[in-house]
Structure 1
Amino acid sequence: MTLVERLRHALAAGHAQDTTLLTGDHVAGEPIDTGADIGAAVLVPVTDRDRPGVILTRRTDTLKRHAGQVAFPGGRIDPEDADAVAAALREAEEEIALPRDRVTVVGESDPYRTITGFRVTPVVAVVPPDLVLVPSAVEVAEVFEVPLDFLLDSGNHLEVAVEWQGHDRHYYEILWGGQRIWGATAAMIVNLSRRLRWAG
């Protein structure tokens, strides 16, 4: 079975089961204003190698939103984008020069609502290993790869509690090779872990 087939099977099987997911950055019990959501999409590029990895970026420190944070390539769904998949592919090409014709889309996973008002759809895809990726100087400070089995291992998902704007908030972080993956990106990884139940 190819990596694409394994991921498609795992994603379909995971979505057929009841699973407790992280739905957004809101505090438990807070009402969610879904009418205010701005559509966005991220690409979850899985490298097709013996030990598959996931390509992530670290955003530049000069960006207005989420500066310096680790993120999947992605962004807002523009009017010219046909859907979330098209937006994710476009953004990945713009941010890290990932050619869309080298991407095999596996499928979409569960949307996640950020505290900044975005409804983010993760698009899982498989890409060839060792592509030469060129980060956009304006948006991306670094491109790196983390083993898929490490990211999806729930033992690496650390839950952190903080007080923010008078509320107790909880978020996940994943630490790897000096990189701190947290917030919405970590939450989407946690959801994928719960959906895929990846055995490596």
Structure 2
Amino acid sequence: MTIDRLRAALLAGGAAAEGIASYRGDWEVTSDAGPEDAARVLTPAAVLIALTAEAEPQLLLTKRTSTMTRHPGQIAFPGGRVDPEDDSAITAALREAEEEVSLARGQVDVLGTLERYETGTGFSILPVVGVVPTGIEYVAHAREVDEIFHVPFAHVMNPANHELRTGEWLGKARKFYVIRHGEREIWGATAGILVNLSRRLG
């Protein structure tokens, strides 16, 4: 997997993406019938899919602290809600990455974005894909981030590593993706977004 190939796939945009079965949200992983509450108001958010600039890119991920109100202890991309002072969702993703892992905005070469992804917890997430230099000294935000680590991008892009599981949430059976790497499990919206990116890359 090369950065140039990823850049080309993102720049191709909607025309090249037509016909690709990307998930529009958690609800679509479970069913193609549409969201249970189509009229619900979603909070705009953005995440940064940061890849290292090397022949075999590594994907930057975090583990959220157990004290977080939403998704405690889960593996996630750096990111969060779009604030009123952000001039775009891309700005929000870069700001959140700077706050959470001390990744300076100027160190990110933004390649493009994926389609928005809706979560069952009420967020509409814009995934922003960017490339960062190797050897960055990351610093975790003590209240929000428990751990910062990398996984091979090729591993999470391999459909053979995308496991579809079924569990119960709010009294209903739900399907969700899990991507294992060693002892870690990436799941939920983070895994769903990675599955979408894998499908975009073919």
Bin for the TM-score computed over the shorter chain: over 0.9
Q: What residue is the counterpart of 1:11 in the other structure? A: 10
Shift of 1:34: 5.3
**Are 2:195 and 1:183 equivalent residues in the alignment?**
no
Q: What residue is the counterpart of 1:102 in the other structure? A: 107
For the residues of structure 2 that align with 1:81 and 1:34, how far apart are their CA atoms? 25
Equivalent pairs: percent with the same residue? 47
1:14 touches 1:196 (CA, 8 Å); kept in 2? Answer: no
> Which of 134, 148, 155 lines up with 1:129 in the alignment?
134
Shift of 1:60: 0.4
For the residues of structure 2 that align with 1:57 and 1:103, how far apart are their CA atoms? 17
Counterpart of 2:66 in 1: which secondary structure?
coil
With structure 2 as the length reference, what TM-score do the two structures score? Answer: 0.91
1:55 touches 1:144 (CA, 8 Å); kept in 2? Answer: yes
**Are 2:53 and 1:54 equivalent residues in the alignment?**
no
For the residues of structure 2 that align with 1:34 and 1:145, how far apart are their CA atoms? 37
Cα distance, 1:34–1:8 mapped onto 2, change above 3 Å: farther
Counterpart of 1:6 in 2: which secondary structure?
helix
In structure 2, the gaps of 5 or more residues are none
Counterpart of 1:184 in 2: which secondary structure?
helix
Cα distance, 1:34–1:128 mapped onto 2, change above 3 Å: farther
Cα distance, 1:171–1:133 mapped onto 2, change above 3 Å: same
Shift of 1:141: 0.4
Q: What residue is the counterpart of 2:75 in the other structure? A: 70
CA RMSD between the two structures: 1.5
Counterpart of 1:110 in 2: which secondary structure?
coil
1:42 touches 1:121 (CA, 8 Å); kept in 2? Answer: yes
1:14 touches 1:195 (CA, 8 Å); kept in 2? Answer: no
Q: What residue is the counterpart of 1:33 in the other structure? A: 38
For the residues of structure 2 that align with 1:164 and 1:31, how far apart are their CA atoms? 14
**Are 2:164 and 1:168 equivalent residues in the alignment?**
no
1:93 touches 1:100 (CA, 8 Å); kept in 2? Answer: yes
For the residues of structure 2 that align with 1:80 and 1:14, how far apart are their CA atoms? 27
In structure 1, the gaps of 5 or more residues are none
With structure 1 as the length reference, what TM-score do the two structures score? Answer: 0.92
Shift of 1:21: 1.3
